[in-house]
Structure 1
Amino acid sequence: MPDLVPDPGHFSASEDELTVDVSPIAGVPNNGLRLPRLRPRLKTRPRLAVGLFIATCISTTWAGAALAEIDPEMNRSEFLRACLASGLEFTAAVMGILIAHEMGHFLQAKRYEVPATLPFFIPMPISPFGTMGAVIVQASGYANRRAMFDIAISGPLAGLLVTIPVTLWGLQSSTVVTLPKNPDMPILVYGDPLLLQWMIEWVHGPLADGQTVLLNPLVFAGWVGIFITALNLLPIGQLDGGHILYTLIGKRAHVVALSLMAAAAVYMVLARDPSFSVLLVLLLLMGPKHPPTTDDTVPLGTGRHLAGWITLGFLAIGLTPAPIDVIEPQPPAQPSAPTAPTTHRPRPSGTQLTRRYPSQRLFMNDRASVASCSSDSYIRRQIFVAAARSGNERPKASTTIQPS
C-alpha cells in the first residue's frame, strides 16, 4: 500500500481543529483527515485588560482636569468640582474614541476568526493626553490578505466616526477670543491638523488674524483622536497604515516604510525637531517590515483598493509635523544695548517641555490662591489658536495652546 503523504499546501485552519486534505493517491478519495488542534491558544488576560482600562480612565481624568475653566471667585470646593467635571468629560470623550477604534479591529478579527485579545489601554499620567492609546494582540498566521485589510482599516474608520462628531459638538460650545501678541508666561502649543481647521471654520466661520477658540475637553479629545488616528495610519511596519499598505502593494511597502523613516530622521536632524523621535525609535524596535499574510494572492477588489488609498490619504489632513511646541514671552527691548543678530532658537524636546513647562494642576486651599492663579483667565486656560498668522512671536499655524 502506498504511503499517504499529506500535501502541506492543503492545510486549512479553523479555530477548534486542523484539517489536512490528502491528495488522491492510488484511488484514495480526498475526504481529509481530522487532527487535534496543534496551535497554542492566545492568552487574552482579561484581568489585565480591565485593570489597564481603569488606570487609563484615572490618568485621562487627571489630564482633563487641567482643561477646567477657573473663575477667580471660586473657593476650593468649587475649584475641585470644576476640575473633576472637566476631567470626566474629557475621559468620556477620549475613551469613547479609543474604544471605537479598538473595537473596530476586535470585531473584524472575530468576524474572520482571528484570535485577538481585548484592548490593552496604555495609561500615561505624565502626558497631557493621559494615555498613549491602546493595543490589541492578534495571533499571527491566521489572516489572509483580505482579512488583514479589513481588520486594519476598520479601527481608524470607526475611531473617526466618533472623533468628528465629538469635535464638532465641543466646538459648538467653544468661545472665540483674541490671543495676546506677547504672552506673560511660556505656553505649550499643539499644532492642529487641516481637518480640525476645517471644522473650526465650519462652526465659527473664518477667524480674524490673532483670534482664537478656547479649548474645552471635547475639542481636545477630538484633537487627540485625530492625532492618534494619523499616527496609526503611518504606512510603516505593524501600524494600521503598514497593514493597509502591505495588502495594497505587497513587499514594495517595505521600501516605502524604510524611506519614510529615513526621511523623518533627516528632517528631525535638519530642523532640530525631535517631536517624533520616540515614535521613530519604537518603530525601529518593532521593525519597519511587514510579515506576509497566510495568502497574499487573495484579491481585494476595486472597492477595497479605493477605500485603502483614501484612508491612507487621511495623513494629509490629519497629521501635523510639529504636534507640540512652546511659545515664550518676548524680552523687552533694550535701546542702549547693541542689536544682536537674530538666531533661530531650536525647539525644546518633549522631555524639556515636560520638565520646564509642566501642565498647571493646582489644588487651592482658599479663594485668594485661586484668584492668584487665574487673574488672566484667557491665558491660564487651555487655548485653541485658530488663526495667528503674522508676527514672529506667534505660531505659524493654528495651534492648541496650553499654559504652564
Structure 2
Amino acid sequence: MKQGQKDQRKGNGRSETEEMISRIYPSIIRVFDVYEIQKSGDILYFFGTPKTDAENVMGELWAPLEQRGFGGTLKYELGEHVLIIAPVNKSKEKIWVNLVLFIATVFTTMICGALMSGVDLLNDPLQVFQGLPFTFAIMAVLGSHEMAHYAMARYHGMKTSLPYFIPFPTFIGTMGAVIRYKGPIPNRKVLFDVGIAGPLVGLFVSIVVTVIGLNLNVSTVKPLPTSLMFDIGFPPLFLMIQKLVGVTGSNLHPVAFAGWVGMFVTLLNLLPAGQLDGGHVLRAMLGKKADIISSMMPRILFLIGFYVVYWLKGDGFIWIFWALFLWAFAAAGHPSPLHDKVELDKKRILIGIITFILGLLCFTLIPFRPIT
C-alpha cells in the first residue's frame, strides 16, 4: 500500500511538471531554442539558445509568463544560456498598513502645522487642529506625486502598491511617501512615463499650493522657547511666483511653506542618479549612457556642499549628506527595462528636458539653515 502511494505521488509530480511546462512552453520556443529541461522544486530550468537578442528574450516572455502566473530570468552560466522559470506567489496587499500610515502622517503633519502657527500644544493641545491647513497642503503635494506614479504604472499594466506615507518627527512631520513596483519595467517608454509623472504632477500641485498660501494672511507668530526656527532659501521658481502674486518677504503661511517643501522634494527627486525619479527619466532618455551622469552626480553634490560650507560659510551639509546617500544609492546601478532598445520619441525627449529645467528652477544653494 505504501509503495502504491509513493508511486502515485511520483506520478502526480510528473503530471504537475508536465502541466507547468505545457502552459509556458509554446511561449518559450518562440524566442528560445530549448535542448534540455530540468526541474528543482517548483523551479524549471530551460537550457538553450536565444533566437533573438538575449536582452530581448525576457521582454518577449514577461507578458505571457505573467498572465500564466510565472516569473523568470535569463542567465548565462558556464558557457550556456539558462532560462529560469518559477511560479509567482501573489501575496494579498495589506491595505490597512497604508491606511494606518496615512492617518499617522496626518496626525504628525498636523502637529507640525500647529507649531508653525505658534500653538502651544503642551498648554492647549486641542488647538492642534490649527495645523490642518498645512496637513491638507503637504499631503496634497506628497500624495499627488506618488499617486501620479501609481496611476501611470497601472495605465501601462504594471503592478504597484498604493502609496505608503512615512510619519516621522521632522520639521514637516513626515519623510514623504513611497510606492512599491511589483515586477520588471516593460520598456524605456514606460520607464519614462512612470518616472516623470510624479515630479510633474507634484510640482504642479506645489505651484497651486504656493499661490494659495501666498494669498493667505500671515499672522505674527511668537516662537516657543523650545522650538527650532529655520531660515529658508527661496528657489527661482518660488521667487517668480511671489512676483506674479505680488507678495514679498520671507514670512510664509504654513500652506505656502508646504508649496516650498514640494519644490524642494521635486528637486531632490529629479536628481539624475540611481533609482530616483530623475535617474529613471535619464535612463529612459539616454539608455545605459545615463550611468555616466548617475555616477558623477554624487561628486557634483559633494562639490556644491563643500563650496557652500567653506566659501559661502553657509549650511551646505544637506548636499554632502545627499552626495553620500547617492554614492550608496546609485552604486548598484539602474535595472534595465525588459525592452531596453525601444528608444523614446522626440515628444518625450522634449518633455524630459523641460522637466529637468523645471527641477533646476527649484534649486537653491542653501535651502534652509537653523536660526540661532
CA contact (8 A) 2:70 2:86 kept: no
User: After the TM superposition, which residues 315-394 of structure 1 pair with which residues of structure 2 at under 5 Å, given as runs?
Assistant: 315-328=359-372
| Alignment correspondent of 1:224 | 261
- Distance, in Å, in 2 between the alignment partners of 1:154 and 1:42 is 27
| Alignment correspondent of 1:191 | 233
SS in 2 for 1:121: strand
4+ runs deviating over 4 angstroms: 74-77
- Distance, in Å, in 2 between the alignment partners of 1:186 and 1:37 is 53
How much identity, in percent, do the aligned residues show?
33
Instruction: Considering Cα pairs closer than 8 Å and 6+ residues apart, tell me whether 1 or 2 has the greater RCO.
Output: 1
Structure 2 counterpart of 1:133, one-letter code: G
RMSD: 3.0
- Distance, in Å, in 1 between the alignment partners of 2:121 and 2:342 is 65
| Alignment correspondent of 1:51 | 100
Match of 2:189 among 133, 146, 163: 146
- Distance, in Å, in 2 between the alignment partners of 1:261 and 1:11 is 36
Q: How far did residue 296 of structure 1 move?
A: 1.5
| Alignment correspondent of 1:128 | 171
- Distance, in Å, in 1 between the alignment partners of 2:62 and 2:122 is 65
- Distance, in Å, in 1 between the alignment partners of 2:360 and 2:61 is 42
| Alignment correspondent of 1:99 | 143
CA contact (8 A) 2:272 2:293 kept: yes
CA contact (8 A) 1:86 1:217 kept: no
Unaligned runs of 5+ in 2: 1-24, 33-56, 72-84, 221-226, 310-315
Alpha carbons of structure 1 residues 43 and 227: separation in structure 2 relative to 1, 3 Å = farther
Alpha carbons of structure 1 residues 114 and 66: separation in structure 2 relative to 1, 3 Å = same
TM-score by length of 1: 0.66
SS in 2 for 1:313: helix
Q: How far did residue 67 of structure 1 move?
A: 1.7
- Distance, in Å, in 2 between the alignment partners of 1:232 and 1:250 is 19
CA contact (8 A) 1:148 1:293 kept: yes
**1:108 and 2:152 are equivalent in the alignment:** yes
- Distance, in Å, in 2 between the alignment partners of 1:280 and 1:241 is 15
SS in 2 for 1:214: coil
- Distance, in Å, in 2 between the alignment partners of 1:135 and 1:141 is 17
| Alignment correspondent of 2:243 | 201
Alpha carbons of structure 1 residues 128 and 17: separation in structure 2 relative to 1, 3 Å = same
Structure 2 counterpart of 1:292, one-letter code: S
CA contact (8 A) 1:16 1:37 kept: no
Aligned length: 293
Match of 1:238 among 263, 267, 275: 275
SS in 1 for 2:271: coil
Q: How far did residue 224 of structure 1 move?
A: 0.9
TM-score by length of 2: 0.71
| Alignment correspondent of 1:180 | none
Q: How far did residue 148 of structure 1 move?
A: 0.8
Q: Deviations over 1:292-339 (max 9, x none)?
A: 1111122321111100111111222112221121344xxxxxxxxxxx
Bigger helix fraction? 2
CA contact (8 A) 2:294 2:330 kept: no
Unaligned runs of 5+ in 1: 21-35, 178-184, 329-404
